[in-house]
Amino acid sequence: MPKDFIVDLVEGVQKKKSHVCVGLDPDFERIPGHIKEMAINEYGPNRRAIGEAFLNFNREIIEAVKDSVAAVKLQIAFFEEYGHWGLKALEETISFAHHKKLLTILDIKRGDIGSTAAAYSRGYLGGVNFWYGVKKKVFNADAVTLNPYLGKDSVEPFLREMEENKKGAFVLVKTSNPGSKDIQDLRLESGELLYEKVAMMVNNWGEYLVSEKVPYSQLGAVTGATFSGAAEKLRDLMPKSYLLVPGYGAQGAGPEDVIPFFNEDGLGALINASRSIIFAYEKDSYPDQHQWAARQAVEKMRTDINSALKKAGRLAWD
């Protein structure tokens, strides 16, 4: 029986009692020195060594947080900028996360049309055409992020791949960056804000992908915690969409800011933090204790969010 992203996500959140998603953004300059030195000693100061340093760092972070989260989010840009060695590290990180029973969200923010969108969807979520009519998986992520700017036909190939392979996707609706208001907050002739219109479209696109096992769709949305004032409206417009909520930690949002993104059942939101978790060791300058620091940071985040949910009467478990 194939894995079902949204069912596995809800079950993982409940099992771990955690709404936290750890973002793996392996900034080369911030990776502990001893990890980089080991890679250089083996491969020399080249791109392969950087890829190996990324992979080793990601593996150690995954080991540190695996008992506290249901999913990790990998930002492709940090891998892509180093070419094929970076992308090799990305593939192997996804594989390692799966080995540790974690779901993977590949943050690609793709949006294109026709055969191009289909190629993206096959490469990231499905299987690609191979020799002798065989199909093989490449990145094999459990979910991706999508940019809806080109319209429904840019999303449809992913919807088909999601339905066939039980995968997931999160569409950009209201992002966490300050400049998002330049376009996303434009008011339409109908009186709606642009991001509200996109939220309604996401709700409609994902309606047929609502699971029979959990009250959520395989198609979710990205909604930034830094704009918590929009959360109640977005939650009303997308009641069955799981929300991927960036902006916690390094971007300034805290536990109280994310509560409005949750449904009354205490579910429906996955709160992402990247730098504040994976580089937590920098606060105390303990480069050889980055795993310990990451584990402590993710546990604090989990506890803080659960405490805020309990106070709001939305904790999904006793």
Catalytically annotated residues:
109
CA distances from 276 to 24, 231, 242, 294, 298 (A): 11, 23, 23, 8, 9
Beta carbons of 176 and 225 less than 8 angstroms apart: yes
Beta carbons of 222 and 246 less than 8 angstroms apart: yes
Give me the torsion for CA of 271, 275, 278, 283, rounded to 10°. -120
The alpha carbon dihedral of 88, 89, 92, 94 has a sign of negative
Structure tokens given for 159: 């919807």
Run of H or E residues at 146 = strand 143-146
For residues 240 and 147, give the distance between their C-alpha atoms in angstroms, rounded to a whole number. 19
CA geometry: angle 263, 268, 269, nearest 5 deg: 110
Per-state percent for the chain, helix, strand, coil, to nearest 5: 55, 15, 30
For residues 190 and 105, give the distance between their C-alpha atoms in angstroms, rounded to a whole number. 34
Residue 245, beta-bridge partner list: 271
Among candidates 222, 225, 228, which has minimal Cα distance to 241? 222
Amino acid sitting at position 123: G
For residues 227 and 267, give the distance between their C-alpha atoms in angstroms, rounded to a whole number. 19
**Phi first, then psi: what are they for 24, rounded to 5°?**
-100, 95
CA distances from 297 to 18, 22, 91, 136, 164 (A): 13, 10, 26, 37, 37
